[in-house]
Chain A
Amino acid sequence: MFGWLERNPFFFAVGVFVVIAFAGLIEIVPDFAQQSRPVVTAKPYSLLELAGRQVYIKDSCNACHSQLIRPFKSETDRYGMYSLNGEYAYDRPFLWGSKRTGPDLHRVGNYRTSDWHANHMWDPTSVVPGSIMPAYKHMFTNVTDLETAYAEALTVKKVFNVPYDKDMDGDGKVDVPLGSYEEAKKRAFEYALRVAEETKRQDLVDMVKAGKIPEIVALIAYLNRLK
């Protein structure tokens, strides 16, 4: 049989394909619908948080930080409750990472504050002596691309039915509003101003007031949301 296959490249290729495709079919496909169910408390990211998440991705924070707390005592002691499947339902892409050059961030919102993050990203060793993380000063001057974040939110709402503008918990109120770009932008600026004030950095507050959200503010909004 193998000798025959080796003289008939078409059937050889078909054979190889069937053999390699097999595992994916068995492993991935059956659980697909099951795995995408959100836990009750999971909510889509607001516009500013989503913009911050894009900053996180743009600067590849996931190259050094995981967002996956494994179910060991040593991990739950250090980072908090272990991660649940349904918490990731609105994460496109997932950001589990594969290497902890720095600590896990899945629940960093529970134990760090906006001003801590601002100081840390400006000069990591000022708050963590011995840190090998570099400073990300360009985030303090780069302006957040809210429009692309809105495009992403609208895309996932339209294509994947992510529940923006919906009453998810049945209390009669919309949980995560998105609305038009103008509406969403207005809310993002209000949110950004709160975060900027929390950082206790006047330059950030001034930038927001001048109509530009620095990337660091969006990123901090995202990090605070990780709980």
Chain B
Amino acid sequence: MQNPAIEYDYTVAKWFSYLAILFGIVGMGVGVWIAFELAFPELNYVLGEYTLFSRLRPVHTNVVAYGFTLSGIWATWYYVGQRVLKVSLAESKFLQTIAKLHFWLYFIGALLAVGSLLIRYTTSKEYAQFEWPFDIVVVIIWVLWGISIFGLIGIRREKTLYISMWYYIATFLGVAMLYLFNNMEVPTYLITGMGDPLHSVSMYAGTNDAMVQWWFGHNAVAFVFTVPIIAMIYYYLPKESGQPVYSYKLSLLSFWGLMFVYLWAGGHHLIYSTVPDWMQTMGSVFSVILILPSWGSALNMLLTMKGEWGQLKENPLIKFMVLASTFYMLSTLEGPIQSIKSVNALAHFTDWIPGHVHDGTLGWVGFMIIAAIMHMAPRFYKREIYSKKLLEMQFWLQTTGIVLYFSSMWIAGITQGMMWRAVDQYGNLAYSFIDTVTVLHPYYTLRGIGGLFYFIGLFMWAYNFYKTMTAAKQIEKEPQFASPMAA
């Protein structure tokens, strides 16, 4: 049943799409830069202390995770939310204002927070580096998003929540809980009236701090890089392909399974550390169980294409999404393998870990956001996608980039892990640490090249999007399924 009366308001969805492109280019540009720094250390000094690897690494992770990915998530939320709830943002002045406030506060907050990292304000906790004033801004931004979600739900016409909605709600709740608990810190200035007002000290010490951090860190991956991306694919793949979701029961199982299992798996970051042994084992076991709900979602998506595989050849957006779910499967198989204690003993602390992260983020998260935004573009601007050929080229270039990235990091990680433990015939360590660094030079170079390919792809994406917005052929009415593209 179509309701032609609803005019959806895409203003904020468009803004967040622009921001996703911008932050994608900035964050991954920094990523490429620091990747090459590992191969060619002179690059560290280009802008004095501001381009040191250690300074830029948190900038890279934060801009990509909380700039590119969150912008992508919100671009899709302000599009998908209205459509699956069958209500327009324009119907509520209040929610419209909240949405705009959400965007601007986020944009300004993000710029300030990243600036603070560059001038050395960091709590050192991975993916939670921002100091306390920024944490408060993050909480306000999050509450605004919450108002937007539940406000829109409050005025919805479609009573049953579509699968994407489950995942957006879970993202909201999950990140709220994790972020609050992990960022519990005491601002030292407020207690003593001395020193730097931005400085704070963690509420937790040592092993406890590590437990909370990786409960957070692992599940920040869950609720930023997984859950909302599943929300996207459940909407965009059926829409773009015109196929119904393969199985409702499978989506139920995967959703509730993922919610229950994911949180336990954080312990796999702490295997052979000083956290209690039973927790390490739980982390390990639940990581393996996590294959079930993860593959459940991925297979549900792949099976949605059943009988329609021809579209894979015709439509580059379908290519992006199908490969995204395939990378999701790869990554969610690789993660559990690395969580097995004996494998972890080898893999932990090596480049295999960033390799794993990047086949997930570049392949799954990146591709899904790219596809979602290109699916929305013709609907935003009532124009065809500017160039199918460019989109195809982008797809192949970026795919090559990802393959170079993870294969070089697999080799680097396993090489390094093996060399750290290698002994000579008398049982003495065979290599000094520096031997295990210099040996990685070719792989670091390859990884940088892989990253560069992906990065160039982003410019193709940005150009294609911009041309779609301004110069592509206009279309009369909104396309129902496959996005129209000029050759």
* Distance, CA A98 to CA B428, complexed state (A): 26
Residue total for B at the interface (Cβ-Cβ under 8 A): 91
Binary interface profile of A, 122-140, with partner B (CB < 8 Å = 1, else 0)? Answer: 0000001111111111100
* Distance, CA A154 to CA B429, complexed state (A): 44
Tell me which residues across on chain B come within 8 A of A160, comparing CB atoms.
205
Tell me which residues across on chain B come within 8 A of A72, comparing CB atoms.
272, 345, 421
Judged by a CB distance under 8 angstroms, whether B369 is at the interface is no
Judged by a CB distance under 8 angstroms, whether B438 is at the interface is yes
Tell me which residues across on chain B come within 8 A of A103, comparing CB atoms.
433
Binary interface profile of B, 107-148, with partner A (CB < 8 Å = 1, else 0)? Answer: 000000000000011111110000000000000000000000
Q: Give the nearest-CB partner of A104 in chain B.
A: B349
B437 to chain A, nearest CB (A): 6
B261 to chain A, nearest CB (A): 8
Judged by a CB distance under 8 angstroms, whether B157 is at the interface is no
Tell me which residues across on chain B come within 8 A of A40, comparing CB atoms.
none
Tell me which residues across on chain A come within 8 A of B213, comparing CB atoms.
93-94
Whether A148 contacts B350 by the Cβ 8 Å rule is no
Tell me which residues across on chain B come within 8 A of A88, comparing CB atoms.
205-207, 210, 274
Judged by a CB distance under 8 angstroms, whether A173 is at the interface is no
Tell me which residues across on chain B come within 8 A of A91, comparing CB atoms.
205-206, 209
Whether B53 contacts A63 by the Cβ 8 Å rule is yes
Among the stretches B93-101, B189-197, B384-392, the one at the interface with A is B189-197
Judged by a CB distance under 8 angstroms, whether B55 is at the interface is yes
Partner of A31, one of B160, B195, B276, B350: B276
A9 to chain B, nearest CB (A): 5
Whether B205 contacts A95 by the Cβ 8 Å rule is no
Known A24-B263, A28-B215, A96-B273; contact A148-B208, beta-carbon cutoff 8 A = no
* Distance, CA A99 to CA B351, complexed state (A): 8
> For this complex, into which size category does the number of interface residues on chain A fall?
35 or more
Judged by a CB distance under 8 angstroms, whether B170 is at the interface is yes
Whether A16 contacts B173 by the Cβ 8 Å rule is yes
Tell me which residues across on chain A come within 8 A of B354, comparing CB atoms.
99
Whether A23 contacts B264 by the Cβ 8 Å rule is yes
Whether A19 contacts B256 by the Cβ 8 Å rule is yes
Binary interface profile of A, 5-20, with partner B (CB < 8 Å = 1, else 0)? Answer: 0110100110011011
Tell me which residues across on chain B come within 8 A of A102, comparing CB atoms.
433, 437
Partner of B160, one of A7, A22, A66, A71: A7
A153 to chain B, nearest CB (A): 9
Tell me which residues across on chain B come within 8 A of A110, comparing CB atoms.
none
Whether B259 contacts A19 by the Cβ 8 Å rule is yes
Specify which of A97, A99, A102 lies most central, judged by the most chain B CB atoms within 10 Å of its CB.
A99
Whether A152 contacts B188 by the Cβ 8 Å rule is yes
Tell me which residues across on chain B come within 8 A of A66, comparing CB atoms.
349
Judged by a CB distance under 8 angstroms, whether A21 is at the interface is yes
Question: Among residues 11 to 67 in chain B, which have CB atoms less than 8 Å away from a CB atom of chain A?
Answer: 37-39, 41, 44-45, 48-49, 52-55, 57-58
Extra inter-chain contacts (11) besides given A99-B351, A152-B199, A154-B191, CB under 8 Å = A6-B160, A20-B170, A22-B260, A31-B279, A35-B207, A57-B123, A93-B213, A94-B206, A134-B44, A136-B49, A155-B191
Using CB atoms and an 8 Å cutoff, list the residues of chain B in contact with chain A. Answer: 37-39, 41, 44-45, 48-49, 52-55, 57-58, 120-126, 150, 153, 159-161, 166, 169-170, 173-174, 177, 181, 186, 188-189, 191-192, 194-196, 199, 201-213, 215, 252, 256, 259-260, 262-264, 266-267, 269, 272-276, 279, 282, 286, 345, 348-351, 353-354, 420-423, 428-429, 433-434, 437-438
Sorted nearest first, the 5 A-B pairs with minimum C-beta distance are A88-B206, A151-B195, A148-B195, A23-B263, A134-B44
10 example contacts (A-B, Cβ-Cβ < 8 A) are as follows A6-B160, A24-B263, A36-B208, A58-B120, A71-B272, A78-B420, A92-B204, A92-B206, A93-B125, A137-B49
